[in-house]
Structure 1
Amino acid sequence: MAVRRVVPNIRTEAMEESRDFYGRLGFEEVMNHGWIMTLASPSQPAAQVSVMTHDKTAPVAPDLSVQVDDVDAAYAAMVADGAEIVHPLQDEEWGVRRFFVRDPSGQVVNVLSHRETPSETRAG
């Protein structure tokens, strides 16, 4: 299993002000679902920060998102280790498969993989 990206998630009710603040540091909006907005560096697209008011389907907002290449393997490893699963493994309507787990310090981590769309699936 490989980590592809790590993004801090900042809870806020000041979405627009946060976009403007991080924009002054060189970030640009790359995703906005209304409840979560991701900002990225144009020169280093993996350098990202997300701001969010809440999580759409989970009972808590995560503190950190970790994108992995195999979320099912990550889930199996966390369950086998006895980690506290805060939000079950599931496919979300916005194209990710994810679960939330609590780390030893109490932080909630959103572990995710992007799902392939039919156009990305290779024949054979």
Structure 2
Amino acid sequence: MRVTGTAVSLTVRDPSASSRFLQEHFGFREAMAADGFASLTRDDVGVHVVLLVEGMPTLPEAQRVPVSGGLILAFEVEDLEGELARLQAEGVAITMPLTVEEWGERAFQVQDPNGVVVQLVDWAAAA
């Protein structure tokens, strides 16, 4: 198998709201969009975020309902404290403060308008 790209597909109530949030605060741009659908990308990372409206009839029935519990959309960044300060200055509510785990993960979280958890993370040397 040769993987040529990757995407995370999220079913949400309002794809446009999540799309605007990811564009405004995380530098994504819409590569494609239609009623109830948006595909977002960044030029510096090989991942797409696909947003689908709940109830979309093209999805299998079990996937038509938003499920965000336990899902974390994580982005590894170079300047975690700088990103935290930037998002706070932009008025984004921090829903999990900057934490440091014993295995070396440092992270904080925000939520988009649909409740999708977005986590920014970096890796410190493990203690």
Task: Specify the TM-score bucket, using the shorter chain as the normaliser.
Answer: 0.3 to 0.5
TM-score relative to the length of structure 1? 0.43
